A and B are shown apart, each in its own frame.
Chain A
């Protein structure tokens, strides 16, 4: 992975010193709340329900074991011994104290960690595919490009006060696992007929109040021009994006208002002045960065390890875990493993310091010392020899990281919601817990099969509810928590925004509604059809009707007034 040189260290340390000064001036009353807000946000610091929330960056989802141990240590000493991994690879700490933050950032900087631009109206952490570098369907490793973009966007002087936040995602594979079409800027690595690397550029995607898929503004952007083109695009946004209404300030609104062609034309006009300028990338720089993402020294292994096959035959629980949590690897004899951060009773994406340390140890022993964070809020060991899978499973189980449910109902995505977040209209976590409890039976879950269920506590859509086959959105009705349900959303190449099925549900009704939707699927599915496939075949109406059936699925449950 990328190692800082003296320049990178100096820049990040300067940022720590700068924020230390800003915090001191704020605490001394020299900076007002309004003045301090964008400064702290651009260092990942929110003021939340319980006090500050600190969002630490995990650039493009990649961590060394040492860095994950540092997170564990920080969470233990400055927080309550756990953190929350988000859909954008970051780690959130919910109980830090404001005066401690400069010191936390200083400690993080020692291990090349920071909270730079994890919030605020600036260019945010670049996200990518959690199987980058190991996926069989990869065109080119997206991580060098993500790192190049990270450096370019860090402290970009022109773009610190954009109309609104700006999120970039990049995919290097034929299957998009980075949700690039719902980002402000989505980059798909492609090759042209001559075999040269370039990017298909999507702009104007995003969830939130107005969910929109990105539109293709350039079919092939040669790699040399990645930064100049991006700079032109963000400049058009900075100059012409709306600033009169925060809900209409994302680039998607500008792209929609101008139309794809006109927007692309304006970007091209801007780009014509920047193209071939000093920010044009060089082969030297791309080689320098790419070298740091070189493949680890894989052993030459047989494609099928005999011991592994034996364990698969003999141990059903192991086989079930392998089926869901182990993923094909491009190198024979290796596999990628998802360490699940989902289980009933724990908030999705939450990891205790002990779990982080356990994951770090697994990475050190079995996966070249690296861990990824997936946008589904799990941890990934990318390079595990097949022969070690059985041991990894046992150790992961002991650490509570082996729920065999990746892609199933229990693997749902949820934001922290009203329990923690100051923006939320409703709580997400009790809903997630109620659904996980309702479907706790593993056989039932495996029978239902792959189903993406995503929960957001408000329109900001941090839980990507629009992209869930079942999406749940918390809404506030006269001070009560209600939940709007969408069906048919999907991520990936055929990304699609889910449809609202009708009136919102009270909190206690949500598991019933989900169960009825799943009942409709089970009643109509063909063999080997996933929920989303059945939905595509039979349409929304069946699900809509099922969700509002008068007969409660669990009559013993009394309806409670939410938000009690």
Chain B
């Protein structure tokens, strides 16, 4: 897993974050935490918050969390400043709940750290994902990251406000 490359800040970068999954039958507080920076599910965060924070405090291991489409982002609203990375999982690219999650994190809960999209995403989702506030991307199996890098420039202008553009076009049109 180490040294895999992801898209971050519109270029390919090495990445060391690992995704911790909750295996069926394992209680969140029983999950064993490998070394290194981790993205943990919300349930694990809730169950092992003290332990995770201690890892950061004592070893400098940064904190990360990942949200599924079902997770209510309001549940971690108070904690967002603790995280270096918040990741949002897209089990199927056609499930668009994560787009709302991202906007809520950025606009409502003021999260300004790395916001990562991962799962079944590819070149054709990047433009909108970027617009709602994602700034790093782990593409689905077999997807070309080089190709995906071109997607940031799909549209030269946008009608709506977004993470990349605080004002909607109608406030910027020159008379």
User: What residues make up the interface of A, taking CB atoms closer than 8 Å to B?
Assistant: 5, 7, 10-11, 14-15, 17-18, 22, 31, 35, 38-39, 121, 148, 151-152, 154-162, 227, 235, 238-239, 243, 273, 277-279, 281-282, 284-285, 288
Judged by a CB distance under 8 angstroms, whether B34 is at the interface is no
Q: What residues of B have a CB within 8 angstroms of the CB of A39 in the complex?
A: 124
Q: What is the CB-to-nearest-CB distance from A32 to chain B, in angstroms, rounded to a whole number?
A: 10
B155 near A15 with CB under 8 A, answer yes
Interface residue from B103, B122, B132, B173 paired with A288 (Cβ < 8 Å): B173
Q: State in angstroms the CA–CA spacing of A154 and B167 once bound together.
A: 16
Q: What residues of A have a CB within 8 angstroms of the CB of B169 in the complex?
A: 7, 151
Minimum-distance CB pairs A-B, first 5: A161-B96, A157-B131, A157-B128, A285-B170, A14-B155
Residue of A nearest to B128 (CB): A157
B168 near A155 with CB under 8 A, answer no
Q: State in angstroms the CA–CA spacing of A235 and B94 once bound together.
A: 16
Judged by a CB distance under 8 angstroms, whether B95 is at the interface is yes
Q: What are 24 A-B contacts defined by CB distance under 8 Å?
A: A11-B158, A14-B156, A14-B157, A15-B155, A17-B154, A18-B154, A22-B124, A35-B124, A148-B170, A151-B170, A154-B159, A155-B158, A155-B159, A157-B132, A157-B162, A160-B99, A161-B93, A235-B100, A235-B103, A239-B100, A243-B97, A273-B108, A277-B161, A282-B171
Judged by a CB distance under 8 angstroms, whether B25 is at the interface is no
Q: What residues of A have a CB within 8 angstroms of the CB of B167 in the complex?
A: 278
Residue of A nearest to B169 (CB): A7
Q: What residues of B have a CB within 8 angstroms of the CB of A5 in the complex?
A: 173
Q: What residues of B have a CB within 8 angstroms of the CB of A243 in the complex?
A: 69, 95, 97
Judged by a CB distance under 8 angstroms, whether B160 is at the interface is yes
Q: State in angstroms the CA–CA spacing of A282 and B129 once bound together.
A: 27
Q: State in angstroms the CA–CA spacing of A10 and B159 once bound together.
A: 11
Q: State in angstroms the CA–CA spacing of A278 and B165 once bound together.
A: 10
Q: What residues of B have a CB within 8 angstroms of the CB of A277 in the complex?
A: 161
Q: State in angstroms the CA–CA spacing of A243 and B154 once bound together.
A: 28
Say whether chain A's binding surface is mostly helix, strand, loop, or mixed.
helix
Q: Chain B contact residues (Cβ within 8 angstroms of A): what range?
A: 35 or more
Q: What is the CB-to-nearest-CB distance from A473 to chain B, in angstroms, rounded to a whole number?
A: 28
Q: State in angstroms the CA–CA spacing of A159 and B98 once bound together.
A: 10
Q: What residues of B have a CB within 8 angstroms of the CB of A155 in the complex?
A: 128, 155, 158-160
Q: What is the CB-to-nearest-CB distance from B128 to chain A, in angstroms, rounded to a whole number?
A: 4
Q: State in angstroms the CA–CA spacing of A152 and B175 once bound together.
A: 19
Interface hits, B74-127 → A, CB 8 Å: 93-97, 99-100, 103, 107-108, 122, 124, 127
Residue of A nearest to B168 (CB): A279
Q: What residues of B have a CB within 8 angstroms of the CB of A158 in the complex?
A: 96, 99-100, 103, 128, 132
Q: What is the CB-to-nearest-CB distance from A380 to chain B, in angstroms, rounded to a whole number?
A: 28
Q: State in angstroms the CA–CA spacing of A278 and B94 once bound together.
A: 28
Residue of A nearest to B150 (CB): A21
Q: What is the CB-to-nearest-CB distance from B48 to chain A, in angstroms, rounded to a whole number?
A: 27
Q: State in angstroms the CA–CA spacing of A121 and B95 once bound together.
A: 10
Q: What is the CB-to-nearest-CB distance from B69 to chain A, in angstroms, rounded to a whole number?
A: 8
Q: What residues of A have a CB within 8 angstroms of the CB of B162 in the complex?
A: 157
Q: What is the CB-to-nearest-CB distance from A286 to chain B, in angstroms, rounded to a whole number?
A: 9
Q: State in angstroms the CA–CA spacing of A238 and B104 once bound together.
A: 13
Q: What is the CB-to-nearest-CB distance from A105 to chain B, in angstroms, rounded to a whole number?
A: 15
Other A-B pairs, 4, CB within 8 Å; known A152-B160, A159-B96, A278-B166: A158-B103, A273-B107, A273-B108, A279-B168
A279 near B161 with CB under 8 A, answer yes
A157 near B160 with CB under 8 A, answer yes
Residue of A nearest to B122 (CB): A35
Q: State in angstroms the CA–CA spacing of A189 and B156 once bound together.
A: 33
A38 near B170 with CB under 8 A, answer no
Interface string of B137-170 (1 = CB under 8 A from A): 0000000000000000011111111100011111
Residue of A nearest to B170 (CB): A285
Interface residue from B93, B103, B159, B171 paired with A11 (Cβ < 8 Å): B159
Q: What residues of A have a CB within 8 angstroms of the CB of B175 in the complex?
A: 284, 288
Q: State in angstroms the CA–CA spacing of A38 and B156 once bound together.
A: 22
Residue of A nearest to B158 (CB): A155
Known: A7-B157, A152-B160, A282-B171. A161 touches B100 (CB 8 A): no
B122 near A11 with CB under 8 A, answer no
Residue of B nearest to A237 (CB): B100
Q: What is the CB-to-nearest-CB distance from B138 to chain A, in angstroms, rounded to a whole number?
A: 17
Q: State in angstroms the CA–CA spacing of A160 and B122 once bound together.
A: 14
Q: State in angstroms the CA–CA spacing of A31 and B170 once bound together.
A: 35
Interface residue from A18, A35, A161, A282 paired with B95 (Cβ < 8 Å): A161
Q: What residues of A have a CB within 8 angstroms of the CB of B95 in the complex?
A: 161, 243
B159 near A162 with CB under 8 A, answer no
A11 near B170 with CB under 8 A, answer no
Known: A121-B94, A157-B132. A282 touches B170 (CB 8 A): yes
Q: State in angstroms the CA–CA spacing of A10 and B80 once bound together.
A: 37
Q: What residues of A have a CB within 8 angstroms of the CB of B69 in the complex?
A: 243
Q: State in angstroms the CA–CA spacing of A152 and B94 once bound together.
A: 21
B100 near A238 with CB under 8 A, answer yes
Q: State in angstroms the CA–CA spacing of A239 and B71 once bound together.
A: 10
Q: What is the CB-to-nearest-CB distance from B146 to chain A, in angstroms, rounded to a whole number?
A: 13
Interface string of B38-51 (1 = CB under 8 A from A): 00000000000000
A157 near B99 with CB under 8 A, answer yes
Most chain B CB within 10 A, of A22, A148, A151, is at A151
Residue of B nearest to A279 (CB): B168
B173 near A11 with CB under 8 A, answer no
Q: What residues of B have a CB within 8 angstroms of the CB of A35 in the complex?
A: 93, 122, 124
Q: What residues of A have a CB within 8 angstroms of the CB of B154 in the complex?
A: 14, 17-18
B128 near A10 with CB under 8 A, answer no
Q: What residues of A have a CB within 8 angstroms of the CB of B171 in the complex?
A: 278, 282, 285
Most chain A CB within 10 A, of B96, B103, B131, B132, is at B96
Q: What is the CB-to-nearest-CB distance from A253 to chain B, in angstroms, rounded to a whole number?
A: 16
Q: State in angstroms the CA–CA spacing of A152 and B99 once bound together.
A: 16
Q: What residues of B have a CB within 8 angstroms of the CB of A148 in the complex?
A: 170
Residue of A nearest to B164 (CB): A157
Q: What residues of A have a CB within 8 angstroms of the CB of B161 in the complex?
A: 277-279
Q: What is the CB-to-nearest-CB distance from B102 to chain A, in angstroms, rounded to a whole number?
A: 8
Q: What residues of A have a CB within 8 angstroms of the CB of B155 in the complex?
A: 11, 14-15, 18, 155
Q: What residues of A have a CB within 8 angstroms of the CB of B157 in the complex?
A: 7, 10-11, 14
B159 near A151 with CB under 8 A, answer yes
Q: What residues of B have a CB within 8 angstroms of the CB of A160 in the complex?
A: 96, 99, 128
Q: State in angstroms the CA–CA spacing of A157 and B168 once bound together.
A: 12
Q: What is the CB-to-nearest-CB distance from B97 to chain A, in angstroms, rounded to a whole number?
A: 6
